[in-house]
Structure 1
Amino acid sequence: MDEPISQLDELTVDEIFENFLDFLKDKTVLIITHRVSNKKFFDRIIELKDGTIIKEEKF
């Protein structure tokens, strides 16, 4: 998700995520990203380093 939205403004990115997640409600979705600024859209964030979980946040 990083590359396709990297050049968009924050409001447009928010709109994309809102529509995307509304479409996928009631499903488990794995999103891999370097951009954690959109964490408001997710229930859980897992940070990996060398394939090992080093941090986990639940919202």
Structure 2
Amino acid sequence: MSLQPGGWRKASRSQQQTACVEVGHVVDGAAVRDTKDRDAGYFTASAKQWAQFVNAVKANRFKY
């Protein structure tokens, strides 16, 4: 995967929030970082891992 993510963005539903994450593009996947602490770094997921995560969110598999 690329070491330099690009195209960072927040979810459209969280634009007015400060406690959220941003997602960036990397080759064959996604990078995720904390909006409040961008200098802390990020983690990456492969395209398959990211798709599985997004599908789980859409299926409401995470409870809080």
TM range (shorter): under 0.3
Which TM-score applies when normalising by structure 2? 0.23
Which TM-score applies when normalising by structure 1? 0.25
Structure richer in helix, relative to its length: 1
